[in-house]
Amino acid sequence: MTLAVRDVEYLRALIARHSGNCLDATHDYLYESRLHRLTRGRGFSSVAQLVAALRSAPGSLLEHSVAEAMTINETSFFREPAAFELLRRTLLPALIARRRQRRNLLFWSAACSSGQEVYSLAMLLRENVPLLTSWTIDILGTDLCAELIARAAAARYSRVEVSRGLPTPLLLRYMVRAGDDAWEVSPALRSLCRFQPRNLCTTPPLPQLCDVIFLRNVMLYFPPATRARVLQTIHRSLAPDGILFLGATEQMPDSPLWKAVRTPGAVWYCPLPAR
């Protein structure tokens, strides 16, 4: 059943209000597919009936569940590998040299989805910087969707998921079999990582400055004002000599807060002093 135009417009406004995502008309087909499970789970016979319930109880927790269900959750291990290679080859060694006195590093994977980016960072560190075993390493993954955060913390992935981007040597070194069709991240690697739900559009900066932030493929559907607000929060969460990665196809809006550093394989951003 096709949703009425007024129901689509209602959902579009609700999702933008709760998550910052602005889905244009080319994505109207997503409402039926992404809200199907939530609709059935809450006992509604159709998405239209779900919308009617939302209208009758504005401000309910159901609104947040709808916004979570409509988030884009595409991810994989070592997605856009050029960024990981740049970090491994150039940026991480220089960062470690600057942190030798305090001997700790904080990474933040914002909008981490089901956690593959977080565990990819942990593998990169374990593989390439053995001296960090004596450092305090903290890799934080956050996402709007509490269900995805629970999945990430469980660290269990299907055969299809581990086949996307995870080299076999790393699979065998850092994952353990969990049945015929699943793998789990090893406890030693999981000890570097933690996860928490977080709405980038509404929550304040992190209390501790990060050394590296991955904010990749998350602002594609944000309107300009929301992008600017999120990037201000990220700027206030990043150390003055820290490193920011956006998605390979994303461009930083014109801003006095960031300087783009272009390399042959990838682009990263360093924060400029706030005026």
Residues 238-268 pLDDT 10s: 999 999 999 988 889 888 999 999 998 899 9
Say if strands 193-197 and 210-215 run parallel, antiparallel, or are unpaired.
unpaired
What's residue 21's pLDDT?
Answer: 72
What's residue 72's pLDDT?
Answer: 66
pLDDT higher than threshold 90 for residue 95: yes
CA pair distance 54, 66, nearest whole angstrom: 9
Q: Give residue-wise pLDDT tens across range 133-148.
A: 889 999 999 998 888 9
pLDDT higher than threshold 80 for residue 108: yes
CA pair distance 120, 130, nearest whole angstrom: 16
- Closest by CA to 46, choosing from 65, 31, 63, is 31
Question: SS in 3 state form for the chain?
Answer: CCCCHHHHHHHHHHHHHHHCCCCCHHHCHHHHHHHHHHHHHCCCCCHHHHHHHHHHCCCCHHHHHHHHHCCCCCCCCCCCHHHHHHHHHHHHHHHHHHCCCCCEEEEEEECCCCCHHHHHHHHHHHHHCHHHHHCEEEEEEEECCHHHHHHHHHCEEEHHHHHCCCCHHHHHHHEEECCCCEEEECHHHHCCEEEEECCCCCCCCCCCCEEEEEECCCCCCCCHHHHHHHHHHHHHHEEEEEEEEECCCCCCCCCCCEEEEECCCCEEEEECCCC
What's residue 184's pLDDT?
Answer: 97
Q: Which two tokens stand for residue 267?
A: 């682009």
Query: Are 107 and 141 spatial neighbours (Cβ–Cβ below 8 Å)?
Result: no
Q: Give residue-wise pLDDT tens across range 63-89.
A: 878 777 777 677 899 999 999 999 999
65 vs 212: which has the higher pLDDT:
212
Q: Give residue-wise pLDDT tens across range 183-193.
A: 999 999 999 99
Say if strands 258-262 and 210-215 run parallel, antiparallel, or are unpaired.
unpaired
Q: Across the chain, which distance is largest between two alpha carbons, in Å?
A: 62
Residue range(s) of every CATH 3.40.50.150 domain in the chain: 81-157+185-271
Query: Are 152 and 185 spatial neighbours (Cβ–Cβ below 8 Å)?
Result: no
Domain 81-157+185-271: give its CATH code: 3.40.50.150
Percent of the chain with pLDDT over 70: 97
Determine the straight-line distance between the first and last CA of the chain, rounded to whole angstroms: 52
